[in-house]
Amino acid sequence: MRKKLIAANWKMYKTPSEAVSFAESFLPLVKDHRRDEIVLCPPFPALTAVAGALRGSHVKLGAQDMHWEKEGAFTGEVSAHMLAAAGCTHVIIGHSERRQFFGETDETVHLKLLATLHASLTPIVCVGEFLAQRQAGETEAVLHQQISGAFHGVPHDLASHITIAYEPVWAIGTGNTATPEIACACHRCIRMDIAKIFGASAASRTRILYGGSVKPENAKALLSQEEIDGALVGGASLDPKSFSAIVHY
């Protein structure tokens, strides 16, 4: 059985004090929850503050992005080792908004993935198609390209440390959600590609999350599916009660 992972991606919301306030309200709501792994991914300025607020709890800390180099003259960037030193255990890589607005490519996702694994962080690698690609019947081809681009050359013994998030771009922040059937079909497609790269055993252990307008109202229908191993939650994770309702689906 793959233990589900439910991650909150706060994007560019919450100051350090607001983030700590969230954690203080959220932790009592999930203090006895051990069924799933829970990760909060605040903006960079709030990482250290949230790390302190989570200390002693079972809720883990993640970042929303990183650079692939360990250090260097890269103004505005942070490395995987810096994130680990700040208390992070997870990091989101290749989110569609990074691809769409900030020039992220399959090659940079690949470089970030390798750096993350070498820093002993758990990467949450995002893949997904735009609406026009889905309407053109290109979903499987897009997923295959993104997965093969990200995972080529990754050592097989590190494959089990990778988490994938399928996030159909047409469902992110739109209120539209992929049906459980659509999500499961895409998750199966992703798992087949992982099996081709790393083997069937690694594919069976790889967690594939769903991301795309996950909210309390649809969490149970999505997360009860055998192929869906958790959720990457955006807007609905900004409120402690809303996010805890998703955790307790």
Q: Which residue has the tokens 């969230």?
A: 22
Query: Which two three-digit tokens encode residue 222?
Result: 């999505």
Catalytic one of 97, 129, 167, 227: 167
Tell me the backbone φ, ψ of residue 65, rounded to 5 degrees.
Answer: -175, 175
C-alpha closest to that of 4 among 208, 177, 242, 162: 208
Give yes or no: 167 in active site: yes
Cα 156 to Cα 203: distance, rounded to the nearest angstrom: 11
C-alpha closest to that of 220 among 2, 4, 42, 1: 4
Three-state SS for 90? strand
Catalytic one of 90, 95, 110, 187: 95
Residue 62 identity (one-letter amino acid): G
Residue 200: CB atoms within 10 A of its CB come to 12
C-alpha closest to that of 209 among 192, 193, 225: 225
Give yes or no: 58 in active site: no
Cα 23 to Cα 3: distance, rounded to the nearest angstrom: 22
The Cβ-side half-sphere exposure at 173, using a 13 Å CA radius, reads 9
User: Active-site residues: which are they?
Assistant: 95, 167
